[in-house]
Copies of this chain bind each other. A is one copy, B any other.
């Protein structure tokens, strides 16, 4: 189905995120999402087969947007640490500033809503990050361990840190960001 009105899809996506942030994935009913998006409930079904598809598409969309965000302004020709730092900072900022998206991805990824295909698709989107890690290994600046483990070492702390900020238990500033980065870098550096 080729939606006529991209702006409407956009509004639906945004309403979905807002509602999930407010009332959680289960509390975000189709009626609430529709109202928030300024359309009728039935209209949701013009653009999406059902709630599952709405969430899945939103997930893929956010995930690919996120990865694009991660590699934004990546100074590819700079020394590795500089490049990595840029990407890491993008990841942290994305998770902190766009908490809705980050939280949704985390929630959805572990939810029963996600299907195997969507999960796999999400992984595929991470390719650019893997490429970055591979470069680091080639240059012998990053430990030679499974990318999945490196990823765990990088994302894990970011998720937890963003959560701390969201809970109000931590306020970020340059010094703290530097500390967190240093910890992660020490964690993965060869």
Interface residues of chain A, those whose CB is within 8 Å of chain B, are: 1, 22-27, 40, 42, 103, 106-107, 110-113, 119, 143, 145-146, 148-149, 151-153, 155-161, 163-164, 167, 169-170, 176, 179-180, 183-184, 186-189
Contacts and interface: CB of A to CB of B under 8 A. Distances in A.
Contacts of A40: 1
A170 B156 contact: no
A183 B149 contact: yes
Number of copies of this chain that the complex holds: 4
A49 to B, nearest CB: 15
A112 B156 contact: no
16 contacts: A1-B40, A25-B26, A26-B26, A119-B167, A146-B170, A148-B164, A148-B170, A149-B180, A152-B160, A153-B157, A156-B156, A156-B161, A157-B187, A159-B159, A159-B160, A186-B186
A146 B169 CA distance: 10
Nearest to A180: B149
Given A110-B103, A183-B143, A186-B187, A169 B148 contact: yes
Contact of A111 (B24, B113, B149, B157): B24
A179 B143 contact: yes
A179 B149 contact: yes
A81 to B, nearest CB: 15
Given A183-B187, A187-B186, A157 B152 contact: yes
Nearest to A175: B145
